[in-house]
Structure 1
Amino acid sequence: MKPHRARTGAVPAAMVLALILAACGQAKLSGSHLDRNNATPRKNQAVTIGLLLPSSQATRWQQFDRPLIQRRVHKLCRDCKVRYVAGGADAAAQQQQAQSLLSSGIDVLIIGSVDSRAARPAVRQATAAQVPVIAYDQLAEGPISGYVSFSGREVGRLQGRALLKALGPGASRRSIVMLNGSPNDPNSSDFKDGSLSVLRGRVKIAKEYDVLNWSPAGAYTDMAAAISALGPGRVDGVYAANDGLAFGAIAALKAANVGPLPPVTGQDADLDAVRRIITGEQYETVYKPFSREARAAADMAVALGRGRSIADIATGTVSNSSLQDIPSVVLKPRSLTVADIGIVIKDGMYTTDQICTHPFRSACAKAGLLG
C-alpha cells in the first residue's frame, strides 16, 4: 500500500522537539510509559488509536490481527476509533505512514514494525507528541510504552523439538537446511536462538540462510541452492521459521523431484499451512492464538489513551536500548502437527468448511477432522 502523503505542520514541529529532547538526553523519559501511566485518568474519553501493521508475506495481519484488535477496541469503547494502515516490507515507507497517522491526531499508536531499529525515529516522534506507543509482535526500539508478543525463543524451541522428533533416533546422522527469518526482524534472532538451543549438536546443519523480508520466493531460491549444493537425497529436514518460508521450501523440493518430502517446520498456522500439514507436505507449524495478543494490545491502547496505568494488564516487563521495565505481555505458543491440528478449529481460528474444501476432504477425513 502506498504511504499517505498528507501532512500538517504539527509533524515537523514534533520532529524538532524530539531532536531537542534527544540532545538534552531526556528522550528516554519524556512521554514514556513512566509519564503516561501517571497522567490524570479520563474515564470515558473516546480514544483514536493508530494501527500500523506490516505486510511481511504473512496473511495473519489482515486476516486476524487487524479485525481482532478493532473488535476488542470497540467492545471496550464504542466511541473509540481505529485508524489502520497496512505497511509493506519497507521501513522508510512505514516511517512515513507513522508520520501520517500522527499528523491525523491519534492518541495512541500500535506498531508492528518492519524493522525494529528503523522504527526508532517514529517512536521518538510519537513520544515528543505525547502519543504512547505499543510495540506489537516485535520489540521496537525507542521509548515505547508497552509491548505485546509471543515468546520468540519458545517458538524456535518448539520448531527444533518437532524437527528432531520427525527425524527420529538417527537425527545426529542427518542433515538439515535452516531457513531463518528476515535479519531486519528482531524476532528472527529469537526464533533462531531458540531452535539452535535444541538442534545444535543433535543434527548436522548443512546449509543455513537468513531470508530477507520473510519472502517465500527468497526461501524458494535459497532452498533450491541448498538442494543443488547438497544433492536432492541429502536434505533430511528443513527448519523454516514461518509458514511462508515453508511454502517456498516445499515448492523448491517438489521442483527438484525430492520424494518423499522431508519434514518441514513452520509458524503462524496459516490456512494453506494447515492444509499442507493435513496432506503431509508440511510436518509442523507453531500456533499462536492471535486473539490473546490482539486483546492485550487493545486493552493497553485504550488504557493509555485514557491516561491510565497498564500495570494491571501487563504480566511482566522487558527492556530495549532506550528503556527498562517496559510493561509487557509475552504469551506462550504451541506446536501443532497433524495429530493435534484440530485445535485451530476448536479455538475458532478456522471452521472445518474453510479447511476441508473439496480437494482436501479425503485428507481431512483421515486426519479426523470430519465427523
Structure 2
Amino acid sequence: MGLGVGPAGAQRGFLARACVAVAVGAGLVLSGACGGGGGSGGDRLSVGVLLPGGGASRFGQFDRPLIEQELKRLCPHCPAPVVAATPDADVQQQQLQALITRRVNVLVVAAIDPKVLRSSVEAAHRAGIPVVAYDRLAQGPISGYVTFDGATVGRLQGRALLTAMGKKADGGRIVMMNGATSDPNAGWYERGALSVLRGKVRIGKSYDTAGWRPENAYTDMTGAIAALGAGRIDGVLAANDSLAGAVISALDASAVRPLPPVTGQDADLAAVQRIVAGRQYMTVYKPYRAEAAAAVRMAVALGRGDPVTSVATGTVAGPTRRKIPSVLLPSYPVTAGTIKDTLVTDGIYRIDQICTPKLRSACAKAGLTR
C-alpha cells in the first residue's frame, strides 16, 4: 500500500543535509542548525511544515508523527523536526507569513481555509518559495500537490452504505453529513458519493458541516431526526469519523433503534472501536505514510530546484492554477471484517489498542485476536 521513497546514491547524500523549519502556535521557531537565508543547496535547505490540527485529529495521530519520522529518516543529521498544528485559519496564515519572513526554501501546507491562505501563498511565490499543498489544495500558485483521490473516497463510502442498507438501498432515505465548504476535499468526497447514490436512494437531508466541527454535525443530525422522523432514516453518509461520531451521538440522544448504518473516513481509533461494536458501519483508511513520504520527496525536489515531475504522477486542476503536478493516492474501505487485514497489518493500531475489555467479545467475532 505504501509509496516507495528509498533514496539512492548522490540523492541520499543531499537528503541527509535537508533540514526542517518549525512553526509553533502563532509564531515561528527555526532550529538553529537548519539556518535561514533562502539558499537552496547543502545544509541551507529548509522546509516549513504547517498542519491544520493536532491531538486526536488524524493530523495529530497520523500525519504529524509520520512526517516527523520521514524527515528524520531522510535527514538523519538534522535536528528533530517539529510540525506546527493549529485549527485556526488566521493563526495558520500568521505562521505562513512568518515562514516567508524567515525565507524558508519550501513550504508544505495543509490549508485550513484555502481562500484565507491565498494571499500568503501568492506572497511565498513572489519570494521564490514553492508551496506543496498537502492533503488539501490551497489556492494560489501551488507548485505541487499530494493527497488521496477524493472521488474514490466518496465512492467507497457510497458503495459501503448501499451494501449496509441491504433492501433499503432501493429507494431508502438517507442523510448526508458533508464536510466544510471551505475545504475543497469536502465537495470532492460528496461528488464521489453522489455518483454512486443518485438514482438509488432518496436524500432526505444534506448538510455542509461548518469547520468540520462535530458539534455542528450533532445539531444538524438532531434537526434531521426531528424533520424526517426517528424511524425513517435508513442510512447516514458521514464524510469523516468525527462527524460520524457526532451523528451516532445524536441518534442515541433521540433513542433511534436500531441504529442506521453510518459511514466515516480517517480510521480514527474511536471509529474503529465503534465499527467493532457495530455502531458505525465503515471508515475509509488512507495510508498516511505514503502521503507523508510523497510530500517530503516533492518538497526536497523543489528545494533542490529539480523538476517536481520526478515525484508527481499526474496533474490536477485547481481554482487558481491548471495542471498542478500531483500525487493522488488510493484509499481502502474498512469494515469490521477487514480491520485486521488493513489497519492492524499496516501497523496503524495494535489489537490490544482496539480491543478494550468491553469489546473483547465483539473483537473475537471480528477475528481480532492475537
1:276-320 deviation line (CA, Å, top 9, x unaligned): 000000001011000000000011112222222222211111222
Query: AA paired with 1:182?
Result: A
Correspondences of 1:1-371 after superposition (within 5 Å):
2-4=25-27, 42=41, 44-55=42-53, 59-80=57-78, 82-88=81-87, 90-342=88-340, 343-371=342-370
Give secondary structure in 2 for the equivalent of 1:265: coil
Query: Would the alpha carbon gap of residues 251 and 49 (structure 1) be closer, same or farther in structure 2, given more than 3 Å must change?
Result: same
2-structure distance, mates of 1:121, 1:59: 27
Query: AA paired with 2:347?
Result: G
Deviating above 3 A after TM superposition, structure 1's stretches of 4 or more consecutive aligned residues are 79-83
Question: 1:83: how far off?
Answer: 4.8
2-structure distance, mates of 1:299, 1:227: 47
Contact 1:57–1:215 (CA under 8 A) maintained in structure 2: no
Contact 1:46–1:77 (CA under 8 A) maintained in structure 2: no
2-structure distance, mates of 1:95, 1:142: 13
Question: 1:365: how far off?
Answer: 1.2
Question: 1:156: how far off?
Answer: 0.5
1-structure distance, mates of 2:76, 2:104: 16
Identity among equivalent positions (%) equals: 52
Q: Where does residue 24 of structure 1 map in the other structure? A: none
The answer for unaligned runs of 5 or more in structure 1 is 7-39
Query: AA paired with 2:155?
Result: R
TM-score after normalising by structure 1: 0.86
Query: AA paired with 2:310?
Result: D
1-structure distance, mates of 2:233, 2:55: 25
TM-score after normalising by structure 2: 0.87
The structure showing larger relative contact order (alpha-carbon pairs under 8 Å, at least 6 residues apart) is 1
Question: 1:47: how far off?
Answer: 2.5
Number of positions where the alignment pairs a residue of Structure 1 with one of Structure 2: 338
1:243-286 deviation line (CA, Å, top 9, x unaligned): 00000000000011111111000000000000000000000101
2-structure distance, mates of 1:310, 1:207: 42
The answer for unaligned runs of 5 or more in structure 2 is 1-23, 30-38
Between stretches 247-256 and 50-59, larger displacement belongs to: 50-59
| C-alpha RMSD of the superposition | 2.1
